[in-house]
Amino acid sequence: MPTRSAYIHVPFCVHRCGYCDFTLVAGRDELMGDFLKAIEIELSHVEGRPVLDTLFFGGGTPTQLPPDLLRQLIELIRSKFDLASDAEFSVEGNPADLSDATLDVLVEAGVNRLSLGAQSFDDATLKMLERDHRGSDIADCLARARERIPNISLDLIFAVPGQSLELWRSTLDEAIQLEPTHLSTYGLTFEKGTAFWTRREHGDLTQADEELERDMYGLAMDVLDEAGLAQYEISSFARPGFRSRHNQVYWNGGDFFGFGPGAASYQHGRRILNHRSVTTWLKRVLAGESGVGETEELSPEDRARELLVLGLRQTDGIEACEFERRSGIELQTLVGESIERLVKQNLLEHANNRIRLTREGRFLADSVAGELLV
């Protein structure tokens, strides 16, 4: 099967938010030209002229590129790939800087899905997160964008220091009122190397209590479901027909291309990760060297276990025959005992011939993953 998905990482932001450990440079817009050149070089290694079913521009903030550079970037991609007629073409954007000019470029290029980093509607929370937009910007942005690109997803963050359950509830409510087709919710994590990590070490940031975080996640599941945004993965909720096709490629073990610093590609059981430092990646690629940081060759069993764990993170869960067809390994022999144990512990359940996480299991998905990898 040829590879039919691609991810492009655009590593630019105005400012690095305190919790963010993504691959990006903040306030280094002068590197944008080099970035385009480097992407062109990476693209030149692709053989033939593949057709894509899904294309995703993530970041960083892709919409941080000025309209003409964004157009050039899209042209570069489209000169190498064809898009299937029903392709999903997503771009991540920032509510603060999605200009009409940028929207023009996106619409013209065929972008049909927008993913907005809303995070919160509460200004204090946004300030805490060091985001550069205000709560009211989100509605404005949505109002302008939705006529032209109706399929819009919002990202929300919970368990932010100082955020109460009530505040989270109103954030969810406001999000629902804006009627997005899709919503992603993330519990805030403290990653090594971020400002938040250091602040927590020094005691001037307090991580949300485990019980509160659990309640917040539980609340999101309840409220969103009621609003018609059905959960289909640990952090993903969608109206019928609006699940992210691109992300489902990741979770179902599909192949994909990846371009840009820190981007991953996965083909024939080999995962290639580009260098995570933007400048190193740029330097190497522009010097004609490889921008790859590490390569991972997955054994059939590794692939099967990964498929299993990623499959279970989706609410549909997995089905034994289908699993065996995809992985070449029988589910029962691989993890039969562990599954039964987890079912007894009420973390997994059998439903309609499929195995999936229980509601309780969703709170403890990483523990479940740990069990299934031993």
Partner 1 sequence: MDASLIRNFSIVAHIDHGKSTLADRFLLMTGAITAREFKEQILDDLDVERERGITVKARTVAIHYKHEGKTYELNLIDTPGHVDFHYEVSRSLAACEGALLLVDAFQGVQAQTVANAYAAIECDLEIIPVINKIDLPVTRVEEVMDEIETVLGLDGLSSLQISAKNGINIEAVLKAIVEQVPPPAGDPDKPLRALVFDSKYDGYRGVVTYLRVMDGSIKKGQRITYMKGGTAHEVLELGQFRPAMTPCNELSTGQVGYMLCGIKDLGMVHVGDTVTDRSVPATTALPGYQQPQQMVFCGMYPIDATDFEHLRDELQKMGLNDASFSFQPETSDALGFGFRCGFLGMLHMEIIQQRLEKEAAVDLIQTAPNVTYELLTRSGETILIDNPEDVPDSGQIEEFREPIARVTFIVPSDRIGVILQMCEDRRGIYKATEYLGPKRAQITYELPLAEVIYDMHDRLKSATQGYGTMDYEIICYRNSDLVKMDILVKGVRVDALSTISHRSTSEKRGRTLVKRLKNEISKHQFEIAIQAAIGSRVIARETISALRKNVTAKCYGGDITRKRKLWAKQREGKKRMKQFGQVEIPQKAFLSVLESSSEE
- Site residues, ligand SF4 (CB under 6 A): 13, 16-17, 20, 22, 24, 59-61, 117
> CA separation (Å) from 221 to 234, 235, 238, 259, 349?
9, 9, 12, 33, 18
Specify the DSSP class assigned to residue 207: P
Distance from the Cα of residue 234 to its chain's centroid? 12
Q: Are 129 and 157 in contact (CB under 8 A)?
A: yes
Please identify which residue in 40, 187, 230, 267 interacts with partner 1, judged by CB under 8 A. Answer: 187
Dihedral (C-alpha) 237, 240, 103, 66: value to the nearest 10 degrees?
A: 40
Q: Are 151 and 112 in contact (CB under 8 A)?
A: yes
Which stretches does DSSP call E strand in the chain? 5-10, 12-13, 25-26, 51-59, 82-93, 113-119, 152-158, 182-187, 230-233, 236-238, 257-259, 264-267, 270-274, 292-297, 318-319, 348-351, 354-357
In the window 264-283, what residues touch partner 1 (CB under 8 A)? 264-266, 271, 273
Q: State the minimum distance, in angstroms, from the CB of residue 200 to ligand SF4.
A: 17
Which part of the chain contacts partner 1 (CB under 8 A), choosing from 31-39, 66-74, 94-102, 247-255?
Answer: 247-255
Q: Which residue's structure tokens are 């030149």?
A: 44
Q: Is 329 left (phi over 0), alpha (psi -120 to 50) or beta?
A: beta
Number of residues near partner 1 (by CB under 8 A): 45
Q: Among partner 1, ligand SF4, none, what does residue 1 contact (CB within 5–8 Å per kind)?
A: none
Q: State the minimum distance, in angstroms, from the CB of residue 2 to partner 1.
A: 18
Binding mask 191-220 for partner 1 (x = CB under 8 A): -------------------xx-xx--x---
The answer to the question of residue 152 lying near partner 1 (CB under 8 A) is: no
Q: Among partner 1, ligand SF4, none, what does residue 185 contact (CB within 5–8 Å per kind)?
A: partner 1
Q: State the minimum distance, in angstroms, from the CB of residue 92 to ligand SF4.
A: 8
Nearer to ligand SF4, 16 or 271 (CB): 16
Which residue ranges make up the site for partner 1 (CB under 8 A)? 7, 58, 184-187, 189, 210-211, 213-214, 217, 234-235, 247, 250-251, 256, 258, 262-266, 271, 273, 294, 296, 302, 306, 309-310, 313, 345, 347, 362-367, 369-370, 373-374
